[in-house]
């Protein structure tokens, strides 16, 4: 096979088309053909195919998708329980901004993925849980589902196959924690969004205590192209353990922030080249590979492959490929303090280490930022991190300590500079996009 | 400056929770295998009628779902989009999570808050604009980001933010930078309850930042490999 292109638009390929979000335009681009193919096969063939493709969950954790589907237990014919598919469209991880434009521009690829996946796992009811704070995205997906019903892609006896499926598009109401899959289920059941203890895993006891598959938007949207192109085609991009393409979201101090769809394993150096480098010829200082919950990295990591193993190898995580880029005008203490304020705000309050821990951390980080801290505060922050991570029900706690631990690891001197100089040595105006307008010193 | 906690709800702005609302709640419940799943959209519906989650709305949700008012209130107080006091006709959010804050969100917030004379979760005296520091709204490539009634206003500056609220307060039509005309907060809440308003096709497919990678691919002739195997139903080579 010839060398794969640097960028490989599949999910993003139609985003520049006028009215790409209508069913008519999706069908013109061969939309819903994968569904017709899939419905002629056995559901277990689809599961096998997705397993063979090696697709790993695109919501951050990277669990093999086909394997997740195969955890749905065989039905007891005497007492069949309904199986549910739930799409996690609660995109809220700081830095993550790929699912929202996907649903805005191409909601039908998600709907087609939902139908094929439901067929594969035997679900007759699927839910798309979209965060409430993105009104037009909710409108577009709601509209796409209505259009799919009109065309007979949803409802009873879909395309004469005998398969029935109903899809509900559900709006959340503002809570980061609902992106955690079991909190999402509680929220979808009309409760406070608080994570559940696992096991039982959702595949056994999920929505309404029934077997449930929960997948991220980008994961489900990848299914139609895998069905059309085949597992081998999917594997012709990326690498052995991280196959396929994914959307890389560059934000912050880059010349051209935006969405870049590429094979997994591309490096930040390559992406920065494509994005015109760091703005104004400045230097890269630190970056997150996949949202604020993935430990930050520095300029020394720009050649590490952005895939699951590569990022784990340098003590971080691929996460959601939300590459937040900060240049040398940025105060890492300020950035970290603000992230911890976020985790404090979003802690659901269920587990004491997370609820109390971030509350205390914010106060320590505030005094460090103001120049009133001491070196003992840094040790205290690390000690607290040890007592928060791994001691709560869900991964919010683990993710929340990531910026603290990694920033102290890479930038301990900068913390010290704050209390040695009696305050922040950086000019916040210099790191804005309108630095000159604000009369920045830098 | 008026703290929202001091605002007396404007009785005229509150539509009653009448039989129409009950019928719409029944419609929401019918979407789900189990009724209680309807609670979040029902609370959005209450806000669309009454401007916030009223005690009356809590009572009605409890009655309709046959759960306690405490259970409804517990849910209503968990989520930030449910308001306990009326917000402005235009609820304006400024992202002050780390990335937007650093790119200029903090400067926008400070300036706008001073300009309007209101702080976080407060409403201007004319009832037109309320302000909220919002967390990451999934538009980081358009930083600094604001939202009005949960529609994106991308790539803002302190100046553009002032102009935006001026236009909103003057009653001018404002269009999202990559979406539809901005509707009222109550209309937005009605949509979130699952009742479409016909605006789904307004606005572009994608904003400029969403397209930078695709445009680069076009310029360089980069594409995904041809789908080869066609394993399912297609002809094999």
Q: Which residues have a Cβ under 8 Å from the Cβ of A434 and sit 6 or more positions away?
A: B104, B107, B157, B158
Measure in Å the smallest separation between the Cα of A40 and chain B Cα atoms: 8
To which H or E segment does residue A45 belong? helix A43-53
A336's CB contacts (< 8 A; 6+ apart) are A365, A403, A404, A407
**CATH code of the domain containing B164:** 3.40.30.10
pLDDT band (50, 70, 90) for residue B26 = very high
Model confidence at A442, pLDDT cuts 50, 70, 90, reads very low
Residue A288 lies in a domain: yes
CA of A313 vs chain B CAs: smallest distance (Å): 25
Number of domains in chain B: 2
- Note whether A77 and A181 are same-domain residues: yes
CB contact under 8 A, A38 and B232: yes
| Structural domain range at position B135 | 90-185
Query: For residue B12, what pLDDT is reported?
Result: 56
Last residue of a domain, one of B143, B160, B185: B185
Q: What are the chain B neighbours of A95 within 8 Å (beta carbons)?
A: 99, 136, 140
* Residues of chain B contacting residue A9, judged by C-beta atoms under 8 Å apart: 213-214, 217, 222-224
Flag whether residue B68 sits within 8 Å of chain A, measured between CB atoms: no
Q: Give CA–CA dist A252/B103, Å, rounded.
A: 7
Chain B residues closer than 8 Å to A192 by CB: 74-75, 78
Nearest residue on chain B to A335, alpha-carbon basis: B98
A188, part of any domain: yes
CATH number of the domain to which B19 belongs: 1.10.10
Indicate whether B142 belongs to any domain. yes
- Residue among B32, B149, B211 minimizing CB distance to A15: B211
Q: How many residues does chain B have?
A: 237
**CATH number of the domain encompassing residue A224:** 3.40.50.11540
pLDDT, tens digit (0-9, with 9 covering 90-100), for B58-117: 999 999 999 999 999 999 999 999 999 999 999 999 999 999 999 999 999 999 999 999
Is position A375 within any domain? yes
- Three-state SS across B178-208? CCCECCCHHHHHHHHCCCCCCCCCCCCCCCH
Higher pLDDT pick, B4 / B147: B147
What is A340-395 written as a DSSP string?
HHHHHHH--S-SHHHHHHHHHHHHHHHHHHTT---HHHHHHHHHHHHHHTTSSSSH
In a domain, A289, yes or no: yes
| pLDDT score at B226 | 86
B8: confidence class by pLDDT, cuts 50, 70, 90 = low
Average pLDDT of chain A to the nearest whole number:
96
How many residue pairs from chains A and B have C-beta atoms closer than 8 A? 332
| CATH number reported for the structural domain that contains residue A297 in this entry | 3.10.20.600
Boundary residue ending a domain (A265, A298, A326): A326
Find the closest chain A residue to B67 by CA distance: A190
Structure tokens at B46: 């209450």
B chain contacts of residue A257, beta-carbon cutoff 8 Å: 140-143, 209, 212
- Same domain as A421, residue A290: no
Complex-level ipTM: 0.96
Flag whether B200 is in a domain. no
Residues A358 and A315 in one domain: no
Indicate the residue among A326, A347, A370 that finishes a domain. A326
Give yes or no: residues A340 and A321 share one domain: no
CA distance A2 to chain B (A): 9
Residue A145, pLDDT > 60, answer yes
B84: which chain A residues are within 8 Å (Cβ-Cβ)?
Answer: none
What is the average per-residue pLDDT within A258-264? 98
- Label residue B229 by pLDDT band (50, 70, 90): very low
B231 touches chain A (CB under 8 A): yes
Q: What is the structure's pLDDT at B42?
A: 98
Shortest distance, CA A12 to any CA of chain B (angstroms): 7
Flag whether B27 is in a domain: yes
Number of domains observed in the structure of chain A? 3
Tell me, yes or no, whether A285 and A407 share the same domain: no
**A257 or A78, greater pLDDT:** A257
- Using a CB–CB cutoff of 8 Å, tell me whether B139 touches chain A: yes
Closest-CA residue in chain A for B137? A92
Contact A274 B213 (CB under 8 A): yes
Backbone angles phi, psi at A229, to 5 degrees: -85, -30
Q: Using an 8 Å CB-CB cutoff, list chain B residues near A10.
A: 224
Q: B50 and B94: one domain?
A: no
Provide, as residue numbers in chain A, all residues whose Cβ is less than 8 Å from the Cβ of B214: 7, 9, 12-13, 15-16, 259, 261
Averaged pLDDT, A125-145: 98
Closest by Cβ to A16, choosing from B81, B103, B206: B206
Mutate to test the interface with B, among A13, A22, A133, A164 (most CBs of B within 10 A): A133
pLDDT (average), residues A237-250: 97
The answer to whether residues B233 and A37 touch, using CB atoms and an 8 Å cutoff, is yes
Band of pLDDT at residue B9, cut at 50, 70 and 90: low
Confidence of residue A224 (pLDDT cuts 50, 70, 90): very high
- Looking at the complex, report in whole angstroms how far the Cα of residue A361 sits from the nearest Cα belonging to chain B: 16
In chain A, the residue whose alpha carbon lies closest to the alpha carbon of B141 is: A251
What pLDDT was estimated at residue A436? 84
Residue A372 belongs to domain spanning: 332-429
Do B70 and B144 have their domain in common? Answer: no
Q: Do A261 and B180 touch (CB under 8 A)?
A: no
Gap between the Cα atoms of A326 and A330, Å rounded: 6
Mutant choice from B198, B225, B235 vs A, greatest count of A C-beta within 10 A: B225
| Residue A63 scores a pLDDT above 80 | yes
Contact criterion met (CB < 8 Å) for B33 and A249: no
Q: What value does the mean pLDDT take over residues A108-113?
A: 98
Question: The dihedral of CA A289, A292, A295, A297: what is its sign?
Answer: positive
Mean pLDDT of the region A66-73: 97
Pairing of strands A166-171, A125-130: parallel
Length of chain A: 442
pLDDT at B231 over 60: no
Q: Is B102 on the interface with A (CB under 8 A)?
A: yes
- On whether both A279 and A393 belong to a single domain, the answer is no
Angle between helix B55-65 and B19-30 (nearest 10)? 50
Q: Which residue has the higher pLDDT, B231 or A375?
A: A375
Res A439: pLDDT: 79
Chain A nearest CA to B60, separation (Å): 15
**Confidence class for position B2, pLDDT limits 50, 70, 90:** very low
Q: What is the mean pLDDT of chain B?
A: 92
Q: Do A133 and B81 touch (CB under 8 A)?
A: yes
B233 and A41 in contact by Cβ < 8 A? yes
Nearest CB neighbour to B106, from listed A193, A208, A428? A428
Mean pLDDT of A157-178: 98
Shared domain for B127 and B69, answered yes or no, is no
Least confident of B3-7, B29-33, B48-52: B3-7
Q: Kindly indicate the confidence band of residue B14, based on its pLDDT and cuts at 50, 70 and 90.
A: confident
Question: How distant is the Cα of B162 from the closest Cα of chain A, in angstroms?
Answer: 15
Q: How far is B145 from chain A (nearest CA, A)?
A: 12
Q: Does B55 touch chain A (CB under 8 A)?
A: no
Same domain, B45 and B131: no
B68 and B95 share one domain: no
Tell whether A49 and A104 lie within a shared domain.
Answer: yes
Model pTM? 0.96
């Amino acid at each position: 096979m010839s060398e794969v292109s640097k960028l490989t638009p599949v999910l993003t390929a139609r985003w520049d088309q006028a009215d790409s979000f209508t069913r008519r335009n999706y069908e013109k681009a061969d939309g819903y053909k994968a569904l017709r193919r899939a419905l002629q096969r056995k559901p277990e063939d689809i599961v096998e195919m997705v397993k063979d493709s090696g697709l790993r969950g695109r919501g951050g954790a990277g669990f093999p998708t086909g394997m997740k589907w195969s955890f749905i237990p065989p039905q007891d014919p005497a007492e069949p329980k309904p199986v549910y598919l739930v799409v996690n469209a609660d995109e809220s991880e700081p830095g993550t901004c790929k699912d929202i434009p996907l649903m805005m521009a191409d909601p039908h690829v998600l709907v087609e993925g939902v139908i094929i996946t439901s067929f594969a796992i035997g679900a007759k009811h699927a839910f798309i849980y979209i965060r409430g704070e993105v009104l037009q995205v909710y409108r577009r997906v709601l509209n796409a589902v209505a259009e799919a019903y009109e065309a007979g892609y949803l409802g009873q006896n879909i395309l004469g196959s005998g398969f029935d499926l109903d899809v509900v598009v559900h709006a959340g109401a503002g809570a980061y924690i609902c992106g955690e899959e079991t909190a999402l289920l509680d929220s979808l059941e009309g409760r406070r969004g608080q994570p559940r203890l696992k096991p039982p895993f959702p595949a056994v006891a999920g929505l309404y205590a029934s077997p449930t598959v929960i997948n991220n938007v980008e994961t489900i949207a990848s299914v139609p192209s895998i069905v059309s192109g085949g597992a081998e085609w999917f594997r012709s991009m990326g690498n052995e353990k991280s196959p396929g393409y994914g959307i890389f979201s560059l934000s912050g101090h880059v010349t051209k922030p935006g969405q870049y769809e590429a094979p997994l394993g591309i490096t930040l150096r390559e992406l920065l080249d494509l994005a015109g480098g760091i703005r104004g010829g400045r230097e890269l200082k630190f970056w997150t590979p996949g949202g604020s919950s993935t430990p930050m990295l520095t300029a020394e990591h720009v050649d590490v492959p952005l895939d699951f193993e590569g990022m784990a190898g340098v003590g971080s995580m691929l996460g959601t490929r939300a590459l937040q880029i900060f240049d040398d005008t940025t105060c890492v203490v300020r950035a970290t303090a603000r992230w911890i304020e976020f985790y404090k705000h979003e802690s659901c309050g269920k587990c004491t280490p997370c609820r109390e821990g971030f509350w205390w951390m914010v106060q320590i980080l505030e005094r460090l930022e103001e120049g009133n801290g001491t070196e003992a505060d840094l040790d205290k922050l690390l000690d607290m991190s040890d007592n928060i991570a791994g001691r709560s029900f869900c991964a919010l706690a683990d993710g929340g300590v990531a910026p603290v631990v990694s920033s102290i690891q890479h930038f301990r001197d900068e913390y010290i500079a704050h209390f040695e100089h009696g305050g922040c040595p950086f000019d916040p105006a210099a790191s804005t996009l309108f630095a000159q307008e604000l009369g920045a010193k830098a | 400056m008026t703290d929202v906690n001091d605002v007396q709800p404007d009785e005229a702005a509150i539509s009653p929770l009448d039989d129409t609302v009950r019928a719409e709640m029944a419609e929401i419940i019918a979407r789900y295998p189990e009724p209680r799943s309807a609670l979040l959209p029902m609370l959005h519906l209450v806000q669309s009628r009454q401007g916030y989650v009223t005690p009356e709305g809590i009572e009605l949700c409890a009655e309709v779902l046959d759960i306690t008012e405490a259970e409804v209130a517990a849910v209503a107080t968990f989520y930030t989009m449910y308001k306990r006091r009326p917000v402005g006709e235009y609820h304006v959010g400024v992202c002050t999570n780390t990335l937007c804050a650093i790119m200029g969100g903090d400067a926008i917030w400070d300036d706008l808050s001073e300009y309007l004379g209101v702080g976080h979760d407060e409403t201007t005296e004319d009832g037109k604009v309320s302000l909220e520091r919002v967390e990451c709204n999934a538009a980081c490539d358009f930083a600094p980001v604001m939202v009005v009634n949960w529609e994106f206003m991308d790539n803002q500056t302190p100046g553009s933010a002032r102009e935006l609220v001026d236009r909103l307060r003057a009653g001018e039509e404002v269009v999202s930078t990559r979406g539809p005309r901005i509707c009222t907060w109550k209309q937005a809440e009605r949509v979130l309850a699952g009742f479409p308003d016909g605006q789904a096709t307004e606005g572009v497919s994608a904003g400029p930042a969403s397209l930078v990678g695709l445009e680069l691919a076009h310029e360089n002739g980069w594409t995904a490999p041809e789908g080869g195997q066609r394993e399912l139903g297609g002809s094999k080579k």
